[in-house]
């Protein structure tokens, strides 16, 4: 599936750098996420640009789905990192709590989740998440 390149102002993950210098380098395989928060941001961005290959590559094999289905009416419009725990060079697990804003058919919505990450063969991967009401 081809990816949509975001506009050059700032990365969809919320950092001020352009996509190509921020999450784009992770999506292209030029770098790997150093901490779970960076992986969370790059995965959010992958949903925004519809990069199925990156999402599957950074998903733990025991919880990874066979495909990622993108809703054509959904548009990701903002990410807020609320909390992080563990996930340093000294940890094998970490969590990131975030709120992702999106529009669905013009309606403003948000997703609040606490995601779990594990280090697998030296790289951080997404395991699963729990929705928070």
Contacts of 51-59 spanning 24+ positions with Cβ under 8 A: 51/3, 51/27, 52/1, 53/1, 54/26, 54/27, 58/33, 58/123, 58/124, 58/125, 58/126, 59/125, 59/126
| pLDDT at position 12 over 80 | yes
Q: What does the alpha-carbon distance between residue 11 and residue 70 come to, in Å, rounded to a whole number? A: 20
Q: Residue 2's pLDDT band (boundaries 50, 70, 90)? A: very low
Q: How far is CA 16 from CA 27, 96, 114, in A?
A: 17, 20, 24
Q: What is the pLDDT of residue 1?
A: 46
Q: What is the pLDDT of residue 5?
A: 52
Q: Are 57 and 43 in contact (CB under 8 A)?
A: no
Average pLDDT of every residue of the chain: 94
Any alpha helices (H) in 22-96, and if so which ranges? 23-27, 36-49, 52-57
| pTM for the whole structure | 0.92
Q: Residue 8's pLDDT band (boundaries 50, 70, 90)? A: low
Q: What is the pLDDT of residues 34-78, one digit of tens each?
A: 999 999 999 999 999 999 999 999 999 999 999 999 999 999 999
Mean pLDDT over residues 116-131, rounded? 97
């Amino acid at each position: 599936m081809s990816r949509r390149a975001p506009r050059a102002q700032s990365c969809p993950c919320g950092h001020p750098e352009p996509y190509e210098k921020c999450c784009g380098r992770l999506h292209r395989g030029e770098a790997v996420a150093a901490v779970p928060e960076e992986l969370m941001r790059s995965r959010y961005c992958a949903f925004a640009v519809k990069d199925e290959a990156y999402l599957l590559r950074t998903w733990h094999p025991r919880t990874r789905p066979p495909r990622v289905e993108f809703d054509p009416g959904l548009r990701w419009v903002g990410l807020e990192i609320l909390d992080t725990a563990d996930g340093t060079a000294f940890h094998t697990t970490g969590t990131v709590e975030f709120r992702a804003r999106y529009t669905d058919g013009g309606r403003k919505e948000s997703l609040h989740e606490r995601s779990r990450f594990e280090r697998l063969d030296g790289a951080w991967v997404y395991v699963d998440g729990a929705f928070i009401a």
